């Protein structure tokens, strides 16, 4: 695995967990609000950790107070709620909440609280700060004490640019003024991204508030952050709610409350997450032991990003066109102005952006983990991608929301790709990423080399290993070493831009043609992500084919295991015997297992609730005997669960006529049925066979796409032009296309992966790797039995538009 999302979270070292668990096994930590011995140990340890945090930032308890929160977001919310705002309309100058537009969503979201307090919010662009000396107020107004708050990030989580820490004192002293208004300015420095790889010296730079999240630094624990509060502002913070542990005394029957004198205790409502706080001690120990300190981390991570940026920016097509467009506010010349973050989009030969979800999907085939989208920083995303406010609103109306995979609208990107390095990143990680870009965009003969060999020149003496190996990392070395990467210059092909939805005014017309379309194969998948069970005819229920994906395998925590995590599931063969009312499960080397089709309604069964792609389902456990069978087969603790008939999974689906319909689902990811076309399979087979240089059975390729219904249409991909179909007495509405993922790369006979399948599909489709269409039940066309049969004729109804709107939203889904 090549992990390049350290700005999302750091990875924790094994030694941290071992020391932490050893600590817990040797000590009893009680609730710190109690007075017994174990509780006193907890309290003392927490106070020691507070001291360790202050020491880490080179400050003391005389200057700053540590308030533990659930993360930097909660810390920001706390500031918004407790800052001594002066609202509008009280006959004196009112407060202003200002923030840099290159700020995290959690900073911008503070304006929701300030608006409720009748305080105006003012966004400030980075270039406006540099001109803010013009905003200095006249001398006669400089005695005004109205408090204002300015928030800015020490490091942009979008581009990695480091904003000057000198702004802190310049703004507090009045030398810089975000806006022209009389009053006293306080500064909140959002340090969550910055402190993960850079030292922050609070003796030199003294903001009033510093929110941080510890998982960004250590990787563990998660769900724990802190607000560092300058003790000069702390007495002025106003708090209305008081929770457990914050009161020196109060009365239940009278409006009387006295807060604790300690600032930390006054603002930490309830029992703090004390075991997680104790884990921080081991986090600091591990960080110091493994790295020697934040200054080393700063230079190490910058060296990696500088090297990667330098090589990446020189990559060009044979025509001289750049392969990537990098979004940066610096030239990566100094670790004091640039963090270890590179933000970019991949371009095709014509200079058009290839959607970020396409890049992410292909990267996953190479086991490279990147981050895509706008990274909870709409302001920076707008500035670098040249998106106006109207563009963002139009994209929202078009169905794009934060975190989804709609990456191109009207030919323009909605987001980008981000890679980021951490202290455990290596030059091999950087080289692997660069190999991936080259392997998927260039052949060796197409590559245009830079004028001189690019090597790491900025490495510090602290990183001896990288220094010794720097000569290996020239661009030529990388390109000449990509032969084993299944080189495919068309793997990242630019998707077609449109995503049209059929209009309400479209009038469907039945397809006419000389050769009838028929059903050639019917498959059901009784156990989600396991092998198919092929039938010639099968009953249809209100959730799809009877018993299709009625069971699934889960881990010890009840989370669904799919072929993405466990490819060997494809070697499990379930067989349904309707006469015997049993499901027989077979796997090589294992005794056959029999599972009754009738639900177990006994009192001994364990009812639980699970989620399948955000759909809530109620399930029950199939028992210890079956759990032991699957655990032995897969070599890990797992269980088989079944969907309960007492609870039906429902999902709102928007079909091709633009109408939202509530449908009943089994344990499928997205829709009741998945249909593919043999003509489409044959076109893909021709391309894959040419690339693999070996024969590929059509049946194997069909099985990779895990469809319920296979048809024999004449034209490849003509199924994407349909709005609805009827098969015999059954009528189906087309829900949308199936956007494929890495499961099609798994050989259903062996469980082995081959990334060529998804890359080839991406190459020939160039449209989000769509293959097949989702269907949902309509009312029956007649009173005939609800049976789907091989050989039945298929009657499609054409839709007006040429492209189907995918129903997928915030995550890649496939027919498990």
Whether 376 is a known active-site residue: answer yes
The pair of structure tokens assigned to 350 is: 């014509």
Give the DSSP H or E segment for 254: none
Angle between helices 356-365 and 756-765 (to 10 degrees): 160
- In angstroms, the CA 608 to CA 613 distance is 17
For residue 736, give Cα distances in angstroms to 104, 655, 770, 799.
34, 7, 10, 12
Q: How many CA atoms lie within 13 A of 65 on its CB side?
A: 19
Burial of 277 from C-beta contacts in 10 A (0-12 / 13-18 / 19+): buried
DSSP structural state of residue 57: T
| Spatial CA neighbour of 706 closest among 683, 755, 740 | 740
Task: Check 98, 151, 374, 376 and give the catalytic one.
Answer: 376
Asked if residues 447 and 477 have their Cβ atoms less than 8 Å apart, the reply is no
**Nearest Cα to Cα of residue 167 among 142, 137, 190, 139:** 190
Answer yes or no: are the C-beta atoms of 476 and 449 closer than 8 Å: yes
Cα–Cα distance measured from residue 86 to residue 102, given in angstroms and rounded to the nearest whole number: 26
Q: Classify residue 182 by burial, with Cβ atoms within 10 Å: 0-12, 13-18, 19+.
A: middle
Residue 617: exposed, middle, or buried by beta-carbon count in 10 A (0-12, 13-18, 19+)?
buried
- Whether a cis peptide bond, with omega within 30° of 0, leads into 221 is yes
In the structure encoding, which two tokens stand for residue 423, read together? 């202290």
Sequence-distant (6+) residues with CB within 8 A of 5 are 369, 370, 371, 418, 419, 420
CA distance 527 to 533: 10
* Contacts with 397 (C-beta within 8 Å, 6 or more apart), sequence order: none
| Cα distance between residue 151 and residue 185, in whole Å | 10
Tell how strand 341-347 and strand 324-326 pair up.
Answer: antiparallel
Active-site amino acid positions: 376
């Amino acid at each position: 695995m090549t992990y390049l999302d350290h700005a999302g979270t750091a990875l924790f070292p094994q030694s941290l967990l071992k020391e932490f668990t050893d600590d817990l096994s040797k000590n009893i930590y009680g609730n710190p609000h109690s007075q017994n011995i174990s509780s006193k140990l907890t309290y003392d340890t927490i106070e020691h950790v507070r001291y360790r945090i202050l020491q880490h930032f080179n400050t003391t308890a005389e200057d700053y107070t540590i308030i533990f929160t659930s993360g930097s977001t909660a810390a920001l919310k706390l500031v918004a709620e407790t800052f001594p705002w002066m609202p509008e309309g009280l006959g004196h100058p009112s407060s202003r909440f200002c923030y840099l537009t290159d700020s995290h969503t959690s900073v911008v979201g503070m304006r929701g609280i300030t608006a409720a307090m009748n305080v105006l919010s003012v966004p400030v662009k980075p270039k406006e700060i540099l001109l803010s000396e013009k905003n200095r107020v006249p001398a006669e107004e400089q005695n005004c004490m109205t408090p204002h708050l300015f928030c800015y990030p020490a490091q942009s989580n979008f581009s990695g640019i480091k904003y000057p820490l000198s702004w802190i004192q310049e703004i507090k002293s009045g030398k810089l003024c975000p806006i022209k208004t009389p009053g006293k300015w306080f500064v909140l420095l959002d340090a969550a991204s910055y402190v993960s790889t850079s030292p922050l010296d609070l003796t030199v730079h003294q903001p009033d508030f510093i929110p941080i999240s510890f998982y960004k630094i250590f990787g563990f624990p998660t769900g724990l952050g802190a607000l560092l509060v300058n003790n000069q502002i702390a007495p002025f913070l106003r708090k209305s709610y008081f929770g457990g542990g914050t009161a020196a005394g109060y009365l239940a029957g009278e409006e009387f409350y006295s807060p604790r004198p300690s600032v930390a205790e006054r603002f930490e409502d309830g029992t703090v997450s004390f075991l997680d706080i104790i884990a921080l001690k081991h986090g600091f120990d591990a960080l110091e032991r493994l790295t020697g300190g934040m200054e080393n981390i700063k230079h190490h991570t910058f060296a990696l990003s500088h090297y990667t940026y330098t090589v990446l920016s020189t990559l060009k097509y044979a025509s001289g066109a750049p392969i990537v467009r990098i979004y940066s506010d610096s030239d990566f010349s100094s670790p004091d102005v640039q963090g270890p973050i590179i933000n970019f989009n991949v371009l095709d030969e014509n200079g058009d952006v290839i959607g970020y979800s396409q890049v992410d999907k292909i990267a996953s085939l190479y086991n490279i983990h990147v981050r895509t989208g706008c990274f909870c920083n709409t302001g920076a995303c707008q500035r670098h991608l040249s998106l106006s406010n109207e563009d963002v609103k139009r994209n929202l109306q078009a169905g794009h929301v934060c975190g989804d995979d709609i990456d191109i609208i009207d030919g323009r990107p909605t987001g980008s790709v981000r890679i980021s390095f951490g202290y455990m990143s290596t030059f091999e990680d950087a080289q692997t990423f660069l190999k991936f870009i080259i392997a998927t965009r260039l052949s060796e003969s197409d590559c245009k080399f830079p004028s001189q060999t690019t090597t790491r020149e900025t490495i510090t003496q602290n990183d001896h290993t990288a220094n010794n190996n720097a000569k290996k990392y020239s661009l030529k070395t990388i390109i000449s070493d990509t032969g084993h990467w299944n080189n495919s210059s068309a793997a990242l092909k630019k998707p077609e831009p449109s995503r049209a939805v059929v209009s309400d005014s479209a009038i469907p017309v039945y397809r006419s043609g000389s050769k009838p379309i028929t059903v050639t194969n019917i498959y059901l998948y009784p156990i989600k992500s396991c092998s198919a069970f092929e039938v010639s005819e099968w009953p249809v229920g209100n959730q799809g084919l009877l018993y299709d994906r009625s069971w699934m395998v889960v881990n010890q925590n009840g989370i669904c295991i799919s072929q993405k995590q466990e490819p060997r599931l494809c070697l499990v063969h379930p067989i349904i015997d309707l006469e015997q009312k049993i499901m027989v499960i077979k796997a090589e080397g294992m005794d056959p297992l029999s599972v009754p089709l009738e639900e177990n309604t006994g009192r001994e069964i364990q009812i639980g609730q699970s989620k399948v792609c955000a759909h809530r389902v109620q399930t029950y456990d199939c028992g210890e005997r079956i759990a032991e069978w699957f655990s032995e087969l897969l070599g890990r603790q797992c269980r088989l669960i079944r969907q309960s008939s007492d609870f039906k999974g429902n999902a709102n689906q928007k079909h091709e006529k633009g109408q939202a319909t509530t449908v009943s689902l089994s344990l499928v990811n997205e829709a009741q049925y998945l249909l593919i076309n043999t003509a489409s399979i044959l076109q893909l087979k021709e391309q894959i066979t040419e690339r693999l240089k070996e024969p590929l059975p059509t049946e194997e390729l069909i099985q990779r796409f895990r469809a319920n219904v296979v048809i024999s249409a004449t034209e490849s991909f003509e199924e994407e032009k349909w709005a609805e179909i009827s098969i015999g007495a059954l009528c189906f509405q087309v829900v949308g296309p199936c956007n494929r993922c890495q499961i099609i790369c798994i050989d259903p006979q062996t469980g082995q992966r081959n990334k060529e399948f998804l890359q080839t599909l991406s190459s020939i489709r160039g449209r989000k790797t769509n293959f097949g269409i989702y269907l949902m039940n309509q009312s029956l066309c007649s009173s005939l039995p609800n049976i789907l049969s091989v050989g039945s004729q298929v009657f499609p109804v054409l839709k007006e538009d040429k492209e189907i709107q995918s129903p997928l939203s915030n995550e890649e889904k496939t027919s498990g």
